[in-house]
Amino acid sequence: MELREYMSVRRAYNLVRQETESVCRLTFEEFAILCRLALVDSPMKTSDIAEYQGALRPTMTHRTNHLASLGYIDRDEGTIDRRNIVCSISDDGRKFANELASRTRAKIPVGQPLARTSADRICKYVDAMGSVYCTAGELVMLALYADETNNSTVTSLVERLGLLQPTVSMSVGALVEKELVVRVHIEGGSARSMYIVLTEKGFEIAEQIARKISRLVVRRRPRS
């Protein structure tokens, strides 16, 4: 998978999530679980889902509990080990995953990566992307890493990531404290006009994440 494809899908879903009613709003990782269960089309142990997403068991329990509370997945005790919960997607979950995939595809602007793909293909991308967890701060770093002009502002990052302005601002502030980015005054701009630039350390971390993304493989339709 190309970084541009990853960022295109993440931006689109961030926009979709903002427009989704709060009661049924899913994190990207929860959306990815639905896509994984829909594509596998058979029950999966929570431990296997946790391994797929590189998540701790308590984190996965929280995610699957939320999905189950919305009626999107069914959780049952394992037949051999009752401590091992088995999850399967419900009809409502499959319908909602398809709806989210369609809405995500519709949010990708013409000319951007995957703008002409299908909702089914988006679901496959989300499934693959679910194995690489990225915080809002890491998404900011990836956006800066991909910016060849090196003139990103908070405003431009908001547009490129589809995140809310407070989220981006707080993420940038945290990255500055960790010395992963710096603020550079824009010559001729106002006192508050700043470019956000990766430090050497930040660049190295963003590059490591980008390499993980480049190794993602999107499922293809089986040959007939």
Looking up residue 191, the CATH number of its domain turns out to be: 1.10.10.10
Same domain, 46 and 123: yes
Q: What angle do CA 2, 124, 14 make, to 5 degrees?
A: 70
Domain end: 129, 163, 197, which one?
129
Give the pLDDT of residue 79. Answer: 56
User: Hunting for tokens 């005790």 — which residue is that?
Assistant: 77
Mean pLDDT, residues 79-87 taken together = 69
pLDDT of 223 above 50: no
**For 163-199, how does the pLDDT look when each residue is reduced to its tens digit (9 = 90+)?**
999 999 999 999 999 999 999 988 776 667 899 999 9
Q: How many domains does the chain have?
A: 2
Mean pLDDT, residues 151-164 taken together = 95
pLDDT of 82 above 60: no
How far is residue 222's CA from residue 153's CA, in Å, rounded to a whole number? Answer: 43
User: What's the mean per-residue pLDDT of the chain?
Assistant: 92
Give the pLDDT of residue 222. Answer: 47
107: left (phi over 0), alpha (psi -120 to 50) or beta: alpha
**For 96-153, how does the pLDDT look when each residue is reduced to its tens digit (9 = 90+)?**
999 999 999 999 999 999 999 999 999 999 999 999 999 999 999 999 999 988 889 9
**For 3-58, how does the pLDDT look when each residue is reduced to its tens digit (9 = 90+)?**
999 999 999 999 999 999 999 999 999 999 999 999 998 899 999 999 999 999 89
Whether 67 is covered by a domain: the verdict is yes
Whether 220 is covered by a domain: the verdict is no
Tell me the pLDDT band of 80, cut-offs 50, 70 and 90.
low
pLDDT of 78 above 50: yes
**For 193-212, how does the pLDDT look when each residue is reduced to its tens digit (9 = 90+)?**
899 999 999 999 999 999 99
Q: What's the number of CA atoms in the CB half-sphere (13 Å) around residue 118?
A: 5
Q: Where are the alpha helices (DSSP H) in the chain?
A: 3-19, 28-40, 46-53, 57-69, 91-106, 119-129, 136-146, 154-161, 165-177, 200-214
Same domain, 91 and 44: yes
Same domain, 120 and 188: no
What is the domain range of residue 172?
A: 136-214
